[in-house]
Amino acid sequence: MDIYGSILSPFAARIVLAARYKDIPHRLLLPKGGIKSATFLRMNPLGKMPTIKDGTTVLFESGVILEYIDAKYKKKPIIPASAKAAAQTRLIGAVFSEYVQTAMFGLFSQTDPVKRDKKLVQEKLAALNQALDAAEKLLVAKPFAAGARFTIADCYIVPTLFFLQAIIPQVSSGPVLGKRVKLKRYYAKAQKNKLLGGVIDEMGEAMNAYMQQK
């Protein structure tokens, strides 16, 4: 499977986590000519990563790709069989994707104190805190997001928590995860886990390389 994207894209990192967990042979690569080239736009008219090519199947949108991967590669499922447990993993994913990540990305442009819009920062931090409170309620963290086994919920959480640790200290002096015990325990354990910690480390290396280029 070819996964077009960069490990520093939280959306692409979701797919890398799933592919590695399920032992799917894959390459993570950037398309020749970039994501806005005519060739790439034929695969994904939105010109975004991740986009995958798996045999003759071309797909984009990380959530759709995760569902495809689990349906096609049955070994080591990342979506539980029971409707309730499956919905729980998707719900954790949705809270991180739609709310935590959205509020966090709203703070991306606010890291420079000179250009900072203080009102906007306060609004986004409030939204982020509300989303993190919801995440804390849903999280199991024993040690994985939805329980004892790795699921799609972990694919969503890990890249988002990496970015939170990188961005929030630049816009706020408070602790990144506040007093949220489960989220803090989850991230501490994730950093030590071979799969999750490996991706966190690779994202960190890619972030350092990107910052040096800037």
Which residues of the chain form contacts with ligand GSH (CB under 6 A)?
Answer: 9, 11, 35, 47-50, 61-63
DSSP 19-49: HHHTT---EEEPPTT-TTSHHHHHH-TT--S
C-beta atoms surrounding 3 within 10 Å = 24
Q: Which is nearer to ligand GSH, 50 or 143 (CB)?
A: 50
CB of 99 to ligand GSH, least distance (A): 14
As a whole number of Å, the CA-based R_g of the chain is 17
CB of 47 to ligand GSH, least distance (A): 6
Q: Which is nearer to ligand GSH, 40 or 187 (CB)?
A: 40
Beta strands in the chain (DSSP E): 2-4, 27-29, 51-54, 57-60
CB of 46 to ligand GSH, least distance (A): 7
CB 130 within 8 A of CB 178: no
CB of 142 to ligand GSH, least distance (A): 27
